[in-house]
Structure 1
């Protein structure tokens, strides 16, 4: 996020770092990513750390409210720790433990702190496309992850995107003005423009979900967002960061973010003996878009201000709705 978290002082952050035995001599806000807040920290022992503060009031994939999201975040971070320490998955960039052995330190009721070792390497962006060799390398990591015994702490996931009920409610509330902030009315008008498409895509999602559930395929440990923006290319290969979305799901949850081409997933099939299911790939690709729509709809229907982060959210909202519309048009052309 570009903006600092609301009502969080550096003194509070420093007290949280003390729970890890870190006394910061340099504390620099890093306006990277979207969702969490990050700092680069140097301790008085000269070690460098990457610090994340999560806003538990806006972490629906971990829990519906701040209290349950805090529990969900701890389960996710504990899972990452287990995958690295017990299963030897050295590509997992797991948090370090606090002095009490915990993976997450609360910063009041709203925020939570996790600390990671600083990792050197080249990072990517969400929209980057991997070449064949790099994609196969990442598929190799995912094959190892999906073959791991699920830790007891591994969170469950649901097929239905969190917040989809809110999207349906918004679609039923398009006649009256929205007044939560500067993007409220533009968001209402944009949803109204894409309402037919969005209803069709949610119906398509329901049909795919029913088909995939009837398939009864076994669940595995998945990362949830293994796109290039969460990959760091270090001297010994790729590392995978941002494990707050880890959870039990079908492997296609991860694979769908790399490619939907069966030929490009052949390496995964060779390593695991499991051919990815086309319906499940389509389901998770659509789920990703509907998750974004749900998050941004809640943002713009609620109280908000015009900030750099809000502009990023607006661009994502408009872009996602247009992509859903484009896919619908492509489907019509293919059917003809």
Structure 2
């Protein structure tokens, strides 16, 4: 996120880090990166650095689900997947420390370079990422804390409710951007409805599943001197391999399907990958519509979300 959370002061985050992970932590700097979670760089004694994350967890179920996902990279590393980088346990053994409606996690700082969501990879980097994902997918998923993916589209109920209101000529309510979101949704309602019908008719099935990261795009891959490393594991779930592979294929000219088949002996479905791309777009629309309509004020985050919502709606309509 571009802006720090209004209800989680930096001083509180630093106190959580000191009490849970590193009593010598000296300072904290908010990092304007990513979407959904908030991130900081923490500096401690002897130049040690930490990457700190706060995720919104409004209830115990959300905390448990996040803890299960964040336990995946450690389990993957224990089984030989060195490119899985994630949170480390606090002094009490917990991966998360809850603070109000937030859960804070800490991981060692990783030296390297990450890109942006829409960046493209050169073939060599893409090949290394596919090899990393193949190693991850070949693990016995049941030996990790990963939960199965929920087949329902994330946020579908809120999106359908918003569509219903717009089509009854009832504007969305909430914050200063509710009117703008209402207008956008009205203009693209038919395309969104059609995409929702297609998705509902083709939900992820109970077939063979693997251990997936969920969002292996250039913003979640840090290229280090030793190769690419996957970060940001909150979406780790047991699911079909296409859940990961479509994102890589969309960011490279490399034939991801052919390479993955050579590495694993399993040929991914190009059709399933296309459907995963559509599902990602719908989930984005669902999240942006609800968040933007309710946003109490306009800021750098809402400006970014609004641009993304416009672009995604236009893509769905093509």
TM-score, normalised to structure 2, is: 0.93
Contact in 1 for aligned 2:281/2:312 (Cα 8 Å):
yes
Structure 1 distance, partners of 2:188, 2:147, is: 33
CA contact (8 A) 1:269 1:275 kept: yes
Q: State the shift of 1:303 in Å.
A: 4.6
Corresponding position: 1:132 with 2:133: no
Report the equivalent of 1:266.
258
Q: Which residue of 2 aligns with 1:2?
A: 2
Q: Which residue of 2 aligns with 1:203?
A: 197
Post-superposition offset of 1:5 = 1.2
Which one of the candidate residues 122, 142, 157 is aligned to 2:149? 157
Question: Which secondary structure does the structure 2 equivalent of 1:22 belong to?
Answer: coil
1:63 aligned residue = none
2:105 matched residue in structure 1: 114
Q: 1:237 Cα deviation (Å)?
A: 0.5
Equivalences for 1:141-152 in 2 at 5 Å? 141-150=132-141, 151-152=143-144
Unaligned runs of 5+ in 2: none
Distance 2:254 2:221 in 1: 22
Higher mean Cα deviation, 289-298 or 127-136? 127-136
How many Å apart are 1:304 and its aligned residue?
2.6
- Check if 1:51 corresponds to 2:52: yes
Contact 1:230 1:241 in 2 (8 A): yes
State the shift of 1:152 in Å: 4.3
Counterpart of 1:94 (choices 86, 91, 115) is 86
Summarize the alignment of residues 20-39 of structure 1 with structure 2, pairs less than 5 Å apart.
20-39=21-40
**How many angstroms does 1:325 deviate by?**
1.1
CA-CA distance at 1:264 after TM superposition: 3.5
1:248 aligned residue (235, 238, 250): 238
Tell me the SS of whatever aligns to 2:222: strand
Structure 1 gap ranges (5+)? 58-65, 327-336
CA contact (8 A) 1:22 1:44 kept: no
The alpha-carbon distance between structure 1 residues 46 and 263, as it changes in their structure 2 partners (threshold 3 A), is: closer
* CA displacement at 1:278 relative to structure 2: 2.5
Contact 1:222 1:253 in 2 (8 A): yes
Distance 2:241 2:148 in 1: 14
CA deviation string 1:252-311 (max 9, x = no partner): 000011116894421110000111112321221111001101101111332531111111
Q: RMSD of the TM alignment (CA)?
A: 1.7
Whole-angstrom distance in 2 between the partners of 1:101 and 1:14: 19
Partner of 2:159: 167
Query: Hey, what's the Cα distance between the residues in 2 that align with 1:270 and 1:152?
Result: 25
1:217 aligns with 2:207: yes
Aligned partners of 1:92 and 1:241 also within 8 Å:
yes
Query: 2:184 matched to 1:190?
Result: yes
Residue 77 in 1 paired to residue 78 in 2?
no
* Secondary structure, aligned partner of 1:256: helix
TM superposition shift of 1:113: 0.6
Aligned partner of residue 258 in structure 1, secondary structure: helix
2:35 is the alignment partner of 1:68: no
Q: Does the Cα contact within 8 Å between 2:155 and 2:286 map onto a contact in 1? A: yes
